[in-house]
Structure formats: structure tokens, C-alpha cells
Copies of this chain bind each other. A is one copy, B any other.
Amino acid sequence: MPAKIQKLSIEPRIRFNCGRRIAFGPGKADLLAQIERTGSISEAAKVMDMSYMRAWTIVKSLDRGYVEPLVVKIRGGNARGGATLSETGRRVLGIYREMELSSRASFQENAVQLRQLLKP
């Protein structure tokens, strides 16, 4: 029954807590990635299935938390203006994706052990 067992995926959801605030996590990472991909906060919000207001609030809180805003707003373009990641934004997202990769790599051996304990 290996076909069924292979469905197991192990997902590290890494959260940076700064005091009681979540400074960064999987949702914020995906939002930044979508802003970079679409070039627009409103397009990114659509893809993430969240309101523009919610995406905007997250971007604002991210901007405040780091040495430089993570998202650069570009005037003009579509109705709400375009947006892209700042150099710091790209670095934060890059570091986060590296952490996900190294985390995944770190527990491969344990994943094999665990797979054996799951019912097929």
C-alpha cells in the first residue's frame, strides 16, 4: 500500500514571534511572494483569498517591523497602484524560504520513522 502512504507530507510552518506579535510566518511569506509575483497588493490579496484591507494591514505591520519597509508601493499603474518587494523584503522572504528548506532537510530521518507508525 505504498501509494497511500506516500500521501504523507510534512510541512514546517515556521513562525517568528516577537514578544506576543507574530513578526513573520507562512501566511505573511505567501503574501509577500504573491505581491512579488503579481506586482500588486490587490492582485496578491485576490490570490490569497483575503480582502484588500486585510492584505494592506499585514503589509503595513510588516513595513513597521523591519529596518526598511518590505513592500515598495509604486504610484500609477492600475487603480490601486503597483507594488513590489524592497531589497529587505526579498531578503526576509529568501531567509524564510531557506529556513523552510533546511528545516525539511533536518527531519528526513524522523519522517521515515514516523511513516512506519502511520496506518497505511
Q: Is the CB of A8 within 8 A of B13?
A: no
Check A46 for interface membership: any CB of B closer than 8 A. Answer: no
Closest CB in chain B relative to A28 CB, distance in Å = 13
- Please give the count of copies of this chain that the complex contains: 2
A23 close to B118 (CB less than 8 A): yes
User: How big is chain A's contact interface, by range?
Assistant: 35 or more
Q: Does A95 sit within 8 A of B, measured CB to CB?
A: yes
**Contact residues of A between 63 and 117, Cβ < 8 Å to B:** 64-67, 88, 91-92, 95-96, 98-99, 102-103, 105-107, 110-111, 113-114, 116-117
Residues of B within 8 A of A92 (CB): 114, 117
- Does B118 contact A67, Cβ atoms closer than 8 Å? yes
Q: Are B7 and A67 in contact (CB under 8 A)?
A: no
Give 19 new A-B contacts, CB below 8 A, not counting A14-B107, A18-B118: A8-B16, A8-B17, A8-B23, A9-B16, A10-B15, A12-B14, A12-B103, A13-B13, A14-B103, A23-B118, A66-B117, A66-B119, A91-B117, A92-B117, A95-B110, A102-B106, A102-B107, A103-B107, A105-B106
